[in-house]
């Protein structure tokens, strides 16, 4: 099992797939995927497409501080080497991680975007972003709450992540959503709050990626 920071990038890729009929979905898969693609396109070209709709009272954060799309990393075009996107239909949200290994501007970007269904001007119902939270890590911009530069090396991180198997997990082998959420919460409580590691269901062997450092047992 691979555990990476941000943790969401390490969750099994089945979250990218539409939910089964037995699961409740608040939002449809393809509109959420379209918003994720618009975000990735904005980071590629340095400009957010007008079709990326925000709710009237949306929140936009970067590294824990309020900002605007125009003042965020999205205003800088970057050559993206790898993107991993998780679609959460139940919570009407997406998570996208981008790795840019370019020597001039290496960085790793994680973004969580939450949505609500709002009435559109045309009288229908459309998704609008209510909260965008970006974490941008680079050699000069450490992850919030960490005093060092997170052992930052985008090229090394890119190589590690590309070496993982990101194929979709077979339906019969997938862990239930509740189990994944519980594992993620236990990991964050261990890392962020110093709680007992015994509550984290590490795989055997387990490979954990932090910046350029990869360890495990």
> By residue range, what is the domain housing residue 152?
16-169
Q: Is 208 inside a domain boundary?
A: no
Q: Is the peptide bond before 5 cis (omega within 30 degrees of 0)?
A: no
Q: Is 161 inside a domain boundary?
A: yes
Higher-confidence position of 193 and 134: 134
Q: Is 82 inside a domain boundary?
A: yes
Q: How far is CA 142 from CA 46, 77, 152, in A?
A: 22, 20, 8
Q: Residue 130: what pLDDT? A: 95
Q: Residue 197: what pLDDT? A: 76
In total, how many domains does the chain have? 1
Q: Is 5 inside a domain boundary?
A: no
Give the whole-angstrom CA distance, residue 160 versus residue 154. Answer: 10
The answer to whether the CB of 138 falls within 8 A of the CB of 167 is no
Q: Which of 217, 184, 216, 215 is nearest to 199 (CA)?
A: 184
> What are the respective helix, strand and coil percentages of the chain, to the nearest 5?
30, 30, 40
Q: What is the pTM of this model?
A: 0.77
The answer to whether the CB of 8 falls within 8 A of the CB of 98 is no
Domain at 141, CATH number: 3.10.450
pLDDT in tens, 121-160: 555 568 899 999 999 888 765 555 554 555 678 888 898 8
Give the whole-angstrom CA distance, residue 154 versus residue 33. Answer: 25
Q: Residue 111: what pLDDT? A: 97
pLDDT in tens, 34-70: 999 999 999 999 999 988 989 989 999 999 999 999 9
The answer to whether the CB of 49 falls within 8 A of the CB of 81 is no
Q: Work out the average pLDDT over 63-91.
A: 94
Q: Is 142 inside a domain boundary?
A: yes
Q: Residue 205: what pLDDT? A: 75
Higher-confidence position of 166 and 114: 114
Give the whole-angstrom CA distance, residue 177 versus residue 102. Answer: 35
Give the whole-angstrom CA distance, residue 117 versus residue 127. Answer: 5
Q: Is 174 inside a domain boundary?
A: no
Q: Is 127 inside a domain boundary?
A: yes
Q: Is 175 inside a domain boundary?
A: no
């Amino acid at each position: 099992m691979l555990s990476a920071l941000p943790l969401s990038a390490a969750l099994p890729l089945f979250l990218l797939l539409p939910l089964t009929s037995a699961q409740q979905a608040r939002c449809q898969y393809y509109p959420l995927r379209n918003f994720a693609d618009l975000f990735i396109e904005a980071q590629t070209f340095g400009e957010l497409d007008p079709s990326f709709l925000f709710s009237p009272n949306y929140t936009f954060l970067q590294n824990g501080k309020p900002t605007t799309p125009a003042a965020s990393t999205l205003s800088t075009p970057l050559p993206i080497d790898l993107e991993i996107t998780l679609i959460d239909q139940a919570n009407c949200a997406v998570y996208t991680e981008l790795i840019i290994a370019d020597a001039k501007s290496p960085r790793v970007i994680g973004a969580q975007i939450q949505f609500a269904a709002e009435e559109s001007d045309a009288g229908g119902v459309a998704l609008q972003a209510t909260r965008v939270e970006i974490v941008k890590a680079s050699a000069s911009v450490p992850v919030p709450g960490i005093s060092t530069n997170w052992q930052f090396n985008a090229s090394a991180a890119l190589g590690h992540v590309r070496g993982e198997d990101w194929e979709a997990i077979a339906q019969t082998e997938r862990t239930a959503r509740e189990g994944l959420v519980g594992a993620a919460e236990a990991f964050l409580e261990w890392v962020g709050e110093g709680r007992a590691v015994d509550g984290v269901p590490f795989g055997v062997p387990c490979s954990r990626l932090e910046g350029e450092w990869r360890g495990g047992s």
